[in-house]
Amino acid sequence: MPSTDKLQASAPKVVPSGILKDLRPDQVVPSKNNPRRLFDPRPLKDLKDNIRQHGVLVPITVFPIRGQDKYSILDGERRHRCCVELEQEGLTLTIPANIVEPPTKVAGLLYMFSIHGYREQWELMPTALSLEIVMRELGEKDNQKLVNLTGLSEPQIERCKKLLKFPKRFQDLSLDTNPQTRIPSNFWIEALPLLDLSERVLPDLTKDLTRNGVTQKLVDKYRSGAIKSVIHFRRVMEAYEFAQPERKKVVVDRIRHYILNPNLETRKAFDEFVLDNRRIQNAITACESFVSDLRGYKLRYVADKDNLMAALEKVRSYVDHLISRLEGTDPPPPPLDDQPREKS
């Protein structure tokens, strides 16, 4: 396994070419990975006002695009966007730019990760496939090292790895360009524990259908509309985990029936085993009394804080993990076209 030093050496390097140029906004193109909703309008307006008054003070970083007489942005998307808008308002200005060498393939991917970290609704599959290339090129699979390299969080890396566990033919269902038929990336992440569970508790079914066959059954079920939300897979896991020993067999039989019957809806199949509300209410009460108890101890000025800090860190780590688990939701529905599509 490569050392961290070796990995860091392969991390994105901006190789300066020693040129500082003044570029017109139309000579600069945004990064191809730039999500258009990246920027909050308010700070952008402040920056724009500032540039209107003083011009661009800090140079942006760009690299030449071979084949085009233009430069792609590595750093400075916001400044460039402001300049484009100001130009549309009739202001003529140039942007000082540090010209650097084009990034290598891996450096470009690592840069993309840093952008994806800021996306509001980022699609996980491109990130997962890019991570696959980075792992292959650098020979690195360790989560913590990948966190350091990519800037992605460990749960994000974990989710990407889960996606990569699926065979290509299933991954490709999330690459469908038609949003109406595309299987969302979260489907695979949420389905994975159920597939593992069914392999464990229904070995005969997995033997008959194979694991891919069971996966296909879940895809068919999703396509038939029997999975209203991919997070409903969690109900299956909860139903199994919380079932009393004498009820386990009933739940396992229900899982078998659920997998084999494409029209059986998830909640209909498992709600009777799940006492969601009571558990959630208990957890909320526990959170409230935890915070209230801590407040009661008036800890703000304690001098001997090391043990306390360690304990709080543990709490934070658990809470972060839990929040990130709970945050996994369905992707937003594709935008509705209210007008006819352009065709030629």
Partner 1 sequence: MFERLRCFIRARWRFRGYEPQPVTVKTVCRWVGQFSPPDRKYLPTLLKHIRYVDEQETRRILFDLNRQLVERLANEGIPIEKIIYVQVDEAGSSSPFMLGLLKNDARLDRLDCKFVDSRDVRMLRDTTDSLEEGAIIYVDDFAGTGRQFCRSRDFVIPYTVGNFAEFFLVPFICEEAVRELAKRGVEPITAGIHKAEDRLLRTECTLVAPKIRDHLTSLSSRINPKWALGDRNMGAMIVFYRNAPNSVPLILRGSLNQDPYVGILPRSTDLPPFF
Residues of this chain that bind partner 1 (CB under 8 A): 26, 29-30, 32-33, 63, 65-68, 70, 72, 102-103, 105, 108-109, 112, 123, 125-126, 129-130, 133, 168, 171-172, 175-178, 339-344
- Determine the residue type at 13: K
The least distance separating partner 1 from the CB of residue 134, rounded to whole angstroms, comes to 10
Within a 10 A sphere around the Cβ of 174, how many other Cβ atoms?
A: 21
Distance CA 44, CA 46 (A): 5
Q: Which two tokens stand for residue 135?
A: 């792992």
Nearer to partner 1 by Cβ, of 42 and 66: the residue is 66
Beta-carbon-side half-sphere exposure of residue 203 (alpha carbons within 13 Å): 1
* Complex with partner 1: residue 32 or 300, whichever CB lies closer: 32
Q: How far separated are the first and last CA of the chain, in Å rounded?
A: 53
Query: Would you call 35 helix, strand, or coil by DSSP?
Result: coil
Name the minimum Å distance from CB 333 to partner 1.
15
Residue 172 or 208 having the CB closest to partner 1: 172
- Please say which residue, 185 or 198, places its beta carbon nearer to partner 1: 185
Helix 185-201 with 211-223: angle, nearest 10 deg: 130
C-beta separation of 36 from 120 below 8 A:
no
Shorter beta-carbon distance to partner 1: residue 54 or 343: 343
Q: How far is the CB of 26 from partner 1 (least distance, A)?
A: 7
Beta-bridge partners for 16? 100
Name the minimum Å distance from CB 8 to partner 1: 21
Q: What is the smallest separation between the CB atom of 172 and partner 1, expressed in angstroms?
A: 6
- DSSP label at residue 26: G
Q: Rounded CA gap, 199 and 147, in Å?
A: 31
Amino acid at 166: F
State the residue for tokens 């308002």: 89
Nearer to partner 1, 16 or 334 (CB): 334
* 301-304-306 Cα angle (round to 5): 110
**DSSP states of 189-210 as a string?**
HHHHHHHHHHHHH-HHHHHHH-
CB nearer to partner 1: pick between 56 and 124:
124
CB of residue 344 to partner 1, shortest distance in Å: 4
Burial class of residue 74 (count of CB atoms within 10 Å of its CB; 0-12, 13-18, 19+): buried
Quick one: 116 or 145, whose CB is closer to partner 1?
A: 116
Q: How far is the CB of 341 from partner 1 (least distance, A)?
A: 6
Q: In whole angstroms, how close is the CB of 156 to partner 1 at the nearest point?
A: 15
